Each structure stands twice: as C-alpha cells, then as structure tokens.
C-alpha cells in the first residue's frame, strides 16, 4: 500500500484508526495487526479520569449506530505514565504513527494535556476534539462558534510545536467557515466526524432544549440521563425509519 506524507512525517500507508475505535492500542492487539496500519489516533485524553456515561452506550438501528460514550479515559497522569509508553514501545519497531486526541471542558484542560505530552517525541500530532462542550459558554461546543474555536486553537498552537488536527462536527451551520478559522490559527489539518443530524423533529427539538445533542446520539453527564435519552433517541429513530419505509 502506498505511503503518504502528513504532518511532516511519512505514514507507511493511509490506514489510520480513528479516535475511540481502538483505545490506546493495547485493547485491540489480539484482534488487529497493528503493524499493518499507518497510524492510530488514541482515545480522547482529558486531565482527569472519566468513567463516561452509564450503559447502554451504543445502540444499533437500521440506518446505523448511535453512541454516547462520554469520553471515558484513564486521565492524563495514567496515559502519560502507562498507556502512551506502552503504545510507543509497540509502534516504533513497525513505524506506526501516533496521534493523540485531546479533549476538555475548558481551554486550560486542552493546554494542560498538550503541555504534558508534547515532550514525547513519538507523537506525530495532536487531534483537538473541538466538539466538546465549553463550560464557560454554557455548554456550547468549542467548534460551534468562531470566537471560541479561535481561542482554543490559538492556545493549543502556543502550547505545542507538534502539528494540530482540529476535529469538527459535520452538522455545524457553517462548516467551511470553522475550517478556515482553525487553519488561520495554525491547524495543519481539519477533520469532520461521521455523525449526521437525521431523525424525527422530536430529536431536533431536543438539541436546543437540553445540554446534550440528541440529534447526534450524545447525552449530557447527569446521572441516568444518558441512558434514558439514548434509548429514547434509538426508539425515535426506529419509528422514523418505519414511517419512511
């Protein structure tokens, strides 16, 4: 398979596992031959450990799948001390490139993670998860408003000499504008998540009425809320598809 050049380094092939699909690599070693990949994007890393949302976190329906994981991860200290060192040892002999996904509830959270992990030379780039809710803006996604995205990318750019890839939601009102904002602040790449705001009007109304984004299968952090809304969205989508068929 053809090698590709990205972030100033060579990926031996263009197959890169997306964030959240393979943990920190250790979780899939018995299932996938990591040496056959070009790269891996880690699970989101936040300053504090996060257990994520209560189950069920994943629900299938005829048109696809919904998930509400809640950025579950062991936290920055554990990732820096255990998960990333293991991944580096495993990936270096085969030339597998590592991209670290970074998340947080404030700009300071992102900066803290990046500053701590930047010294690890094996990291090819940081992926900035700009779809996280900004607590200082009432829970609005960092990537949903030009000013907030500007501040986030600018702060991350100052914190690290590594390339940045900014992960945006594909359902933003003006996605090209937000991509240009990220690029203007120094992001080398933009990425768009494969989530779609399709479904009955009930779900679209839920997006403005609640902190979570029901139309994309996400749930807020309130105990129990993720489970009930997740099931409700699943049932609503199934009913919607039955009416269309």
Q: What is the pLDDT of residue 201?
A: 31
* Per-residue pLDDT at 12: 94
Distance of alpha carbon 69 from alpha carbon 218, whole angstroms: 8
Comparing C-alpha atoms, which of 133, 116, 185, 196 is closest to residue 157? 185
Task: Quote the pLDDT of residue 193.
Answer: 59
Per-residue pLDDT, 78: 97
**Residue 139 has what pLDDT?**
79
Lookup: tokens for 139:
């829970």
Cα atoms found within 13 Å of the Cα of residue 175, Cβ hemisphere only: 12
For residue 192, what pLDDT is reported?
67
Q: Which residues pair with 65 in a beta bridge?
A: 60
Contact assessment for residue 14 and residue 6, using Cβ atoms and an 8 Å cutoff:
no
List the 123-129 sheet strands across, edge first. Answer: 16-17, 39-45, 97-102, 123-129, 164-168, 189-192
Neighbours of 148 (CB within 10 A): 19
92 close to 85: Cβ distance less than 8 angstroms: no
Cα–Cα distance, 92 to 111 (Å, whole number): 26
- Catalytic annotation, residues: 132
pLDDT tens for the chain, 245 residues: list them: 799 999 889 999 999 999 988 899 999 988 989 999 999 999 999 999 999 888 888 899 898 888 888 889 999 999 999 999 999 999 988 899 999 999 999 999 999 999 999 999 999 999 999 988 877 777 788 999 999 999 999 999 999 999 999 999 888 889 899 999 999 999 998 776 555 444 333 233 333 222 232 223 333 333 333 333 333 333 333 333 444 44
What is the C-alpha to C-alpha distance for residues 218 and 3, in angstroms, rounded to an integer? Answer: 35
Domains of the chain with bracketed CATH:
4-55+67-198 (3.20.20.70)
Q: Which two tokens stand for residue 242?
A: 């039955």
**Does the pTM exceed 0.85?**
no
């Amino acid at each position: 398979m053809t090698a590709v050049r990205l972030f100033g380094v060579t990926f031996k092939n263009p197959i890169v596992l997306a964030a959240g699909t393979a943990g920190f690599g250790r979780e899939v070693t018995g299932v996938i031959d990591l040496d056959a990949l070009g790269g891996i994007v880690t699970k989101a890393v936040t300053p504090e450990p996060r257990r994520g949302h209560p189950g069920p976190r994943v629900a299938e329906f005829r048109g696809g799948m919904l998930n509400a994981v809640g950025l579950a991860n062991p936290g920055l200290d554990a990732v820096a001390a255990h998960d990333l060192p293991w991944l580096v040892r495993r990936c270096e002999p085969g030339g597998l490139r590592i991209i670290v996904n970074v998340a947080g509830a404030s700009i300071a959270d992102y900066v803290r993670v990046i500053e701590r992990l930047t010294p690890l030379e094996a990291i090819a780039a940081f992926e900035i998860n700009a779809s996280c809710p900004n607590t200082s803006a009432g829970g609005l996604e960092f990537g949903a408003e030009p000013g907030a995205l500007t501040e986030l990318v600018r702060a991350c750019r100052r914190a690290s000499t590594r390339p940045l890839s900014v992960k945006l939601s594909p359902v933003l009102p003006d996605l090209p504008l937000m991509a240009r904002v990220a690029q203007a602040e120094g992001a080398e790449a933009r990425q768009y998540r494969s989530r779609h705001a399709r479904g009955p009007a009930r779900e679209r109304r839920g997006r403005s009425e609640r902190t979570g984004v029901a139309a994309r299968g996400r749930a807020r952090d309130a105990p129990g809320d993720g489970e009930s809304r997740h099931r409700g969205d699943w049932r609503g989508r199934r009913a919607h598809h039955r009416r269309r068929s």
